């Protein structure tokens, strides 16, 4: 096993993913290519479902955050596993709908949903709209009134928590573009406005404190603050929220330096805290929702590349250039995210060649990893970047007019194309 159960080395000395030889997969499907071990994704769904059932109660459910990875086949898998889904854009809604996902189990997020987005959500029968601001509440009320609909909503509340994670992915702070803050009193008026609106049904509250969080503390703090808010709201308005959605954010092990996470133990700890807070405030335990994205799909995915050149600059460093880069994985360029890189063609050899892995774009910042060590590669070797299942395909672009790689699902010893590779024709299709 390398880092996660999905990855190992076979007798040929090649990296395997879900038991399949990645060098053979590269030959069959070409590179770059995203691989996804869907059995591992299902295992994570089941882990979340059973932990939620045991520690949050039978009314509680995990909702997969589609922004981590979004294509029709994945929504079908998520539906089969019985999870709800969190969508953050009309494009994600349309994808879920096209996959036959039960739209009543969808939560629709976003800090700026347009009138068209809101109308689409109502037309598609989205279960809950997570209303982000009073402006949006007013717009939704008008659109719903026009359609004779009465959508169920949650209100996005900002609990004001710094989860000690990367600044760009902190979203629970008071100074945030998302939601209305408790600390400023704006959350209270938001609730009153929603309760007074005859065109929506308020079901509860939502918050999201950040992403790639290893520590249980920010989640515990969020539960404490949100349950205290729920109790206070009952006192001031008589409304006792039946639903509390505490967002996503559990971390994932990208390198040996990251700790391994016991998700079930974390959920148990949160369940205990929620029970304690409900008893303390004398409120009925709401249905608890969480929206894991990264932790469901990240570890199950890896990206295969072909090495094009290995250049050593004496006194500086060695660059290994591959046939992908920031268009298929912008996370290093955006956040200097650390990854584990393996020479899949020589996975049994010692990883003793220190290097920087560079993409193929005309952009010096187009790197996938700096100062990593792999078994010494040469042109034609297959390089694998592990744990790319989340925020890679979903963040991919066509920068430099590079076609997006395919998504290849691996399950039960078989590999199937779930998203085909973009062609040059796809690239120019929209050009008039």
Ligand X SMILES: *Cc1c(COP(=O)(O)O)cnc(C)c1O
Is 208 among the residues that bind ligand X (CB under 6 A)?
yes
Q: Give the C-alpha separation, 101 to 55, whole Å.
A: 26
Is 362 among the residues known to form the active site?
yes
Residue closer to ligand X, measured from CB, 84 or 357: 84
Residue closer to ligand X, measured from CB, 67 or 105: 67
Site map (CB under 6 A) of ligand X, residues 309-338, x = contact: ------------------------------
Is 21 among the residues that bind ligand X (CB under 6 A)?
no
Is 86 among the residues that bind ligand X (CB under 6 A)?
yes
Q: Give the C-alpha separation, 342 to 133, whole Å.
A: 45
Is 253 among the residues that bind ligand X (CB under 6 A)?
no
Which class for 215: exposed (0-12), middle (13-18), buried (19 or more C-beta within 10 A)?
A: middle
Q: Give the C-alpha separation, 33 to 385, whole Å.
A: 11
The CA–CA distances, whole Å, from 89 to 52, 106, 152, 166, 404 equal: 26, 12, 18, 23, 20
Contact 396, 406 (CB under 8 A): no
Closest approach, Cβ 109 to ligand X, in A, equals 5
Closest approach, Cβ 226 to ligand X, in A, equals 14
Contact 287, 60 (CB under 8 A): yes
Residue closer to ligand X, measured from CB, 26 or 226: 226
Is 179 among the residues that bind ligand X (CB under 6 A)?
no
Closest approach, Cβ 190 to ligand X, in A, equals 17
Q: Give the C-alpha separation, 153 to 174, whole Å.
A: 22
| Alpha helices (H) in 56-158, listed in sequence order | 72-80, 90-98, 115-124, 134-147
Residue closer to ligand X, measured from CB, 111 or 186: 111
Q: Which of 16, 38, 211, 233 binds ligand X (CB under 6 A)?
A: 211
Residue closer to ligand X, measured from CB, 66 or 377: 66
Interface segment toward ligand X; rule CB under 6 A; list 27-35, 44-52, 115-123, 285-293: 285-293
Contact 25, 17 (CB under 8 A): yes
Contact 85, 66 (CB under 8 A): yes
Is 248 among the residues that bind ligand X (CB under 6 A)?
yes
Interface segment toward ligand X; rule CB under 6 A; list 74-82, 253-261, 269-277, 291-299: 291-299
Is 14 among the residues that bind ligand X (CB under 6 A)?
no
Q: Which of 203, 291, 366, 381 binds ligand X (CB under 6 A)?
A: 291
Residue closer to ligand X, measured from CB, 339 or 353: 339
Residue closer to ligand X, measured from CB, 68 or 144: 68
Angle between helices 186-196 and 217-237 (to 10 degrees): 50
Q: Give the C-alpha separation, 380 to 359, whole Å.
A: 15
Closest approach, Cβ 392 to ligand X, in A, equals 12
Residue closer to ligand X, measured from CB, 14 or 206: 206
Is 292 among the residues that bind ligand X (CB under 6 A)?
yes
Which of the residues 55 through 84 are near ligand X (CB under 6 A)? 65, 67-68
Q: Give the C-alpha separation, 276 to 259, whole Å.
A: 28
Contact 291, 248 (CB under 8 A): yes
Interface segment toward ligand X; rule CB under 6 A; list 71-79, 140-148, 242-250, 319-327: 242-250
Cα angle value 84/242/79 (rounded, 5°): 10
Q: Closest Cα to residue 324, out of 399, 428, 212?
A: 399
Is 109 among the residues that bind ligand X (CB under 6 A)?
yes
| 45, 197, 361, 362: the active-site residue | 362
Closest approach, Cβ 16 to ligand X, in A, equals 26
Closest approach, Cβ 79 to ligand X, in A, equals 18
Interface segment toward ligand X; rule CB under 6 A; list 21-29, 43-51, 243-251, 414-422: 243-251
Instruction: Give one DSSP letter per residue of 146-186, joined into a string.
Output: HHT---EEEEEEE-----SS-GGG--SSSS-SSSEESTTSH
Q: Give the C-alpha separation, 258 to 318, whole Å.
A: 25
Among all residues, which ones are annotated catalytic?
A: 362
- Which residue ranges make up the site for ligand X (CB under 6 A)? 65, 67-68, 86, 109, 208, 211, 247-250, 291-295
């Amino acid at each position: 096993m390398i880092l996660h159960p999905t990855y190992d080395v076979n007798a040929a000395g090649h990296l395997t993913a879900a038991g399949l030889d990645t060098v053979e997969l590269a030959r069959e499907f070409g590179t770059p290519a995203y691989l996804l071990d869907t059995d591992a994704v299902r295992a994570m769904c089941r882990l979340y479902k059973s932990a939620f059932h045991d520690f949050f109660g039978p009314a509680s459910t995990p909702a997969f955050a589609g922004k981590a990875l979004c294509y029709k086949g994945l929504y079908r898998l998520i539906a089969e596993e019985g999870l709800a889904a969190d969508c953050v854009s009309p494009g994600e809604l349309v994808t879920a709908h096209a996959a036959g996902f039960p739209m009543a189990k969808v939560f629709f997020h976003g800090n700026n949903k347009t009138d068209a987005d809101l109308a689409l959500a109502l037309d598609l029968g989205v279960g809950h709209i997570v209303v982000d601001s009073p402006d949006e509440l007013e717009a939704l009320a008008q659109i719903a009134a026009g359609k004779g609909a009465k959508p169920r909503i949650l209100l996005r509340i900002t609990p004001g928590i710094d989860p000690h994670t990367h600044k760009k992915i902190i979203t629970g702070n008071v100074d945030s573009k998302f939601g209305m803050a408790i600390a400023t009193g704006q959350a209270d008026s938001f609730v009153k406005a929603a309760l007074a609106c005859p065109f929506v049904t308020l079901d509860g509250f939502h918050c999201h404190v950040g992403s790639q969080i290893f520590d249980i503390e920010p989640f515990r703090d969020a539960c404490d603050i949100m349950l205290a808010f729920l109790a206070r709201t009952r006192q001031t308005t008589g409304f006792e929220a039946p639903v509390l959605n505490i967002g996503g954010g559990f971390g994932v092990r990208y390198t040996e330096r990251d700790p391994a996470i016991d998700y079930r133990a974390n959920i148990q700890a949160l369940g205990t805290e929620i029970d304690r807070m409900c008893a303390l405030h004398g409120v009925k335990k709401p249905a608890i929702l969480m929206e894991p994205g990264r932790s469901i799909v990240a570890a199950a995915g890896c990206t295969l590349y072909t090495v094009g050149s290995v250049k050593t600059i004496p006194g500086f460093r060695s660059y290994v250039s591959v046939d992908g880069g920031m268009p298929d994985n912008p996370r290093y360029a955006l956040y200097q995210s650390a990854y584990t890189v393996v020479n899949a063609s020589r996975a049994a050899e010692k990883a003793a060649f220190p290097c920087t892995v560079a993409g193929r774009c005309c952009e010096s910042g187009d790197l996938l990893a700096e100062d990593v060590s792999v078994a010494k590669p040469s042109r034609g070797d297959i390089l694998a970047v592990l744990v790319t299942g989340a925020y890679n395909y979903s963040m991919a672009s066509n920068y430099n007019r590079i076609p997006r790689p395919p998504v290849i699902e691996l399950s039960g010893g078989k590999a199937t194309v779930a998203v085909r590779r973009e062609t040059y024709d796809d690239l120019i299709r929209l050009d008039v």
